[in-house]
Amino acid sequence: MDTRRFIIFVVLSFAILFGWQEWQRRTHPELPKSETAQTTAAGTAGQPATAATPAGNDQLGLFNRGGRVKIKTDLFEAEVDTVGCDLRSLLLLKHGEHDNPKKPLALFQDGAEHKYVAQTGLLKDGMPNLPNYATLFKTDTNSLVLDAGQNSVSLRLEAPDVGGVKVAKIYTFKRGSYVIDVKYEITNGTAAPLSLFSYYRLVRDNSEPKGLMHVGASAFTGPALFTQEKKFQKIAFSDIDKGKADYVKESHDGWVAMLQHYFATAWLLSPSQGTNVCATTACRFEIKTAGNYYQAGAIVTIPTIAAGAKGEINVPLFAGPEETSALETAAPGLELVKDYGIFRVLAEPLFWLLSQIHNLVGNWGWSIMLLTLLIKAALFPLASTSYRSMARMKKLAPRMERLKAQHGEDRMKFQQAVMELYKTEKVNPLGGCLPMLVQIPVFIALYWTLLAAVELRQAPWILWITDLSLADPYYVLPVLMGITSFVQTMFNPPASDPMQDKMMKIMPVVFSVMFLFFASGLVLYYVVQNLLTILQQWYITRSIALEDKKVELGKVAKT
């Protein structure tokens, strides 16, 4: 397979893949879950069989209503319901909605069309009235604000006494942090030691977040977990529906999360700062359906509380954007929720470099351009080898046409003559292909880097490009992509097969149409990449022409 056929194969493969995924998404949208979905869970020795056992369709008390306590910090506007003490609403003040960037993005929601909440509760066999999703908590405030000069603000809610057991639940929001501390204070007023379990879960429907970029990759929405034993695992909604969810059931560390493009929520069982609540007794993970909803959570063993003593347990909740720095400081392995695809080993350092450039220039658009320039410079030797080979092949094109005319339909003799020509002129027909193969993983890694970067979401570049994560509204960049792709074909040697020549001329059109749906940040990268390639090809072609001219002048001088 020659270089031209290889390029056609790669481009068409990507075009077909991207087009198929977009067509599937538009013509076969994911349907809401059936109301007949069932909850299944197997108990573990010494632990309750399930974290919740209510009857009816509202198996998790999602439609319970009480008073709402509002909390406002520098990053959040949150609402906690006094029934269940669930975190029912969470607005991210630094991130706007897809349709209205000036409106804070709603991560947790409790509306009729979409539900996504964080729940916790206590469990003990023989004590069904311990605080859970249906308990009415009391508090002495209905709003809290993180004032200037404060580093944190805490909301304390207290449950009714249950057989001498008093429980308080405390939410602590910290300035500049997407990690929310969720702590239980338990006072054992009985005459016997008290052994309890606590559950922590994230519950949501399977509705798709707005603004996903589907072309070229399907952004994952659903549960995920991490343990040192099995590392990062994603569990598809469809696998849960079919009873095929395969994940670690117990572990002495890790976290359990719900993911969507750009944003994540996770219960941190072994946070970077704080106590590993699974260290002594393994935590049990539960990922399953509950009525019309999905839940991802864990059941934690609370250390035994002596009679008359007080105990506590704190499991932090991460809720926010998949910003690399925030993820890395929250918990080990949490940075893996930022999906870089199969070339993560290349994508992570590329994003690090991109972020360092951004720290200098302060604009993600210019940062992408500078990163492209640096990558092009780093790959210059490989690219030069490829382009020099292509330039040599282009120079030989007239002679190859004469050989083709000379040998007519005898392809065997034609191929032998071509190989002899390559040998005489010291041209390697694979010289343009192999260096290109080496570069492909880098380009794919950068593609995933830009696709996963929440930092580009609603980040402006210049003029009409106000959000680098969205498609160019006026299609200027895709058109430039097509034009620069066409100019590149002018530097390529003509194909011996007329059909291949036609395909190469069609490629710029295919690229332009395909890139209409791409995020403008990605298209910007490819436009700059094409412009630099054109300059490099022109320079190499000119250099070869000058070299050949010197050789000819030398021959004339000798004669």
How many Å apart are CA 49 and CA 198, to the nearest integer? 13
Element (H, E) at 115: strand 115-123
pLDDT at 203: 94
pLDDT at 54: 41
pLDDT at 74: 95
How many Å apart are CA 167 and CA 287, to the nearest integer? 27
Write out the chain's pLDDT in tens, 559 residues.
344 444 444 554 555 445 544 444 444 444 333 333 333 333 333 444 344 434 345 677 788 788 999 999 999 999 999 999 999 999 999 998 888 888 999 999 988 788 999 999 999 888 888 999 899 999 999 999 999 989 999 999 999 999 899 999 999 999 999 999 999 999 999 999 999 999 999 999 988 776 554 444 557 889 999 999 899 999 999 899 988 888 999 999 999 999 998 999 999 999 998 899 999 999 999 999 888 899 999 999 999 999 999 999 999 999 999 999 999 999 999 999 998 878 888 888 999 999 999 999 999 999 999 998 998 888 777 666 666 666 666 666 667 667 667 766 667 777 777 677 666 666 665 555 555 666 678 778 888 888 888 888 888 998 899 888 888 888 888 888 888 887 877 766 555 556 666 666 676 777 677 778 788 888 898 889 888 888 877 877 777 667 667 766 666 666 6
pLDDT at 41: 32
At position 119, the amino acid (one-letter code) is Q
Contacts of 97 (CB under 8 A, 6+ apart): 103, 104, 105, 106, 210
- Domain coordinates in residue numbering, the chain: 65-207+219-339, 348-558
**Cα radius of gyration rounded to whole Å, the chain:** 30
> Can you give the pTM of this predicted structure?
0.79
Name the burial class of residue 123, with classes exposed (0-12), middle (13-18) and buried (19+) by CB atoms within 10 angstroms of its CB.
buried
Sign of CA dihedral 258, 302, 181, 111: positive
pLDDT at 536: 79
Give residue for tokens 């000036």: 102
Angle at 87 between CA 289 and CA 186, to 5 degrees: 100
The 10 Å CB-count burial string (b at 16+, else e) for 376-406 is beebeebbbbbbbbbbbbbbbeeebeebeee
Nearest to 390 by CA among 231, 537, 204: 537
Q: Is 62 helix (H, G, I), strand (E, B) or coil?
A: coil
Give residue for tokens 């630099």: 532
Tell the CATH topology of 65-207+219-339.
Answer: Beta-galactosidase; Chain A, domain 5 (2.70.98)
The 10 Å CB-count burial string (b at 16+, else e) for 147-156 is eeeeeebebb
How many Å apart are CA 99 and CA 168, to the nearest integer? 39
pLDDT at 481: 84
